[in-house]
């Protein structure tokens, strides 16, 4: 017969193993003062331009004073992020903005290469996640890619309708393998996952070209992500457009700071041109300090956003 003391000791060991993980499971994912970086392709770029996700998250957690920095770039994939010459690395960018959370979306366009390329995709994505998480110092959220949908550019009487529908069905079947693999990848790396594969049917199109989200699609996706982060998505109906417009204005300032049109003169291969230097003292460069003037403007907008979000929470 097993000794009672030995049994109690075994129970204590079990408690030591399981209680911390249970506590961790109930711990809120987002924390006050978090800086959230958005990474991905065109849909993530537009998420900043439209501001729906940020406005819903700000409305849901008004006292957290969350900060958002959009680092997405059109055409980015897990295999290549074609940034300008001398553009900072991911590690440098995330450190500079002080990112504590990275929300990433890849996989839709990569799936067009076929299921046979899935192992290469997972290998490349896994390496990116490791860079984003910085050894677990940053929390990571992987957004699953949305399904492809019929493009409104094709009229019902189009002679290629049947061919397109067949192709669409095949593409989404391949994409499902990528979506499932990304969910598994999130588990392997301790990241959160939001499944965006099946978007609900609406009276208005959710994708403008069968690929990229419309404004209505951005709203649906934002609500879905809030749900996957265990946040109240009901804030959607209570968020006035004034808050979103402030966020859109702030993000425009951030975009102009982070992606200046004449990067070559800022840090590329044109920094020694006379026009990038002071006309009186050529040893001084006028562009870098001028660019930094955007940051106080961004911060001022963020204070306006905080003030309005706090005002909206009052009964």
Residue pair 107/156 in contact by the 8 Å Cβ criterion: no
CA distance 246 to 264: 30
Domain tally for the chain? 1
Residue 14 within any structural domain of the chain: no
Residue 296 within any structural domain of the chain: no
Distance set, CA 132 to CA 103, 137, 189, 252 (Å): 9, 9, 11, 24
Residue 18 within any structural domain of the chain: no
Tell me, what's the pLDDT at 302? 98
For residue 189, give the nearest of 120, 262, 283, 122 by alpha carbon: 122
Tell me, what's the pLDDT at 168? 86
CATH number of the domain to which 161 belongs:
3.40.50.1110
Rounded-to-5 percentages of helix, strand, coil across the chain: 55, 10, 35
Residue 257 within any structural domain of the chain: yes
Residue pair 125/188 in contact by the 8 Å Cβ criterion: no
Provide the residue range defining the domain that includes 204: 27-261
Q: Is the dihedral of CA 135, 139, 144, 145 positive or negative?
A: negative
Q: Is the dihedral of CA 21, 26, 32, 34 positive or negative?
A: positive
| CB-based contacts of 299, cutoff 8 Å, min separation 6 | none
Residue 118 within any structural domain of the chain: yes
Residue 2 within any structural domain of the chain: no
Question: Digits of tens for pLDDT over the chain (315 positions)?
Answer: 445 444 443 444 334 433 433 434 457 899 999 999 999 999 999 999 999 999 999 999 999 999 999 999 999 999 999 778 889 999 999 999 999 999 999 999 999 999 999 999 999 999 999 999 999 999 999 999 999 998 655 445 555 555 555 588 899 999 999 999 999 999 999 999 999 998 887 788 899 999 999 999 999 999 999 988 888 655 454 667 999 999 999 999 999 999 988 888 888 888 888 888 888 898 889 889 999 999 999 999 999 999 999 998 876
For 79, the token pair is: 């295999």
Tell me, what's the pLDDT at 83? 79
Residue 310 within any structural domain of the chain: no
For residue 108, give the nearest of 187, 43, 46 by alpha carbon: 43
User: Do β-strands 67-70 and 101-105 pair in parallel, antiparallel, or remain unpaired?
Assistant: unpaired
Residue 311 within any structural domain of the chain: no
For 288, the token pair is: 């870098």
- 140 burial via Cβ count (<10 Å: 0-12, 13-18, 19+): buried
């Amino acid at each position: 017969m097993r000794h009672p003391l030995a049994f109690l000791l075994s129970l204590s060991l079990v408690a030591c193993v399981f209680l911390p993980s249970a506590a961790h499971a109930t711990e809120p994912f987002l924390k006050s003062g978090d800086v959230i970086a958005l990474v991905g392709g065109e849909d993530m770029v537009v998420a900043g331009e439209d501001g729906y996700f940020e406005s819903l998250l700000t409305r849901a957690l008004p006292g957290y004073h969350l900060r958002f920095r959009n680092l997405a770039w059109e055409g980015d994939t897990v295999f290549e992020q074609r940034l300008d010459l001398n553009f900072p690395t991911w590690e440098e960018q995330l450190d500079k903005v002080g990112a504590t959370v990275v929300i990433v979306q890849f996989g839709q366009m990569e799936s067009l290469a076929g299921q046979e390329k899935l192992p290469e995709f997972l290998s490349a994505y896994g390496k990116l996640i490791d860079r984003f998480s910085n050894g677990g110092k940053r929390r990571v959220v992987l957004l699953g890619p949305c399904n492809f949908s019929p493009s409104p550019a094709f009229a019902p009487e189009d002679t290629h309708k049947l061919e397109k529908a067949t192709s669409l069905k095949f593409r989404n079947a391949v994409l499902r393998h990528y979506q499932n693999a990304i969910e598994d990848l999130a588990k392997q790396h301790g990241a959160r996952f939001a499944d965006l594969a099946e978007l609900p049917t609406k009276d208005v199109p959710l994708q403008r070209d069968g690929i990229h989200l419309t404004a209505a699609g951005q709203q649906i996706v934002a609500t879905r992500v809030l749900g996957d982060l265990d946040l109240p998505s009901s804030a959607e109906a209570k968020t006035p457009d004034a808050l979103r417009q402030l966020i859109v204005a702030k993000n425009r300032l951030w975009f102009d700071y982070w992606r200046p049109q004449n990067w070559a003169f800022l840090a590329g291969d044109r920094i020694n041109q006379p026009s990038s230097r002071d006309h009186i003292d050529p040893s001084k460069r006028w562009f870098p300090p001028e660019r930094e003037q955007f940051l106080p403007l961004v911060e001022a907008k963020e204070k306006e956003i905080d003030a309005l979000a706090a005002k909206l929470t009052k009964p």
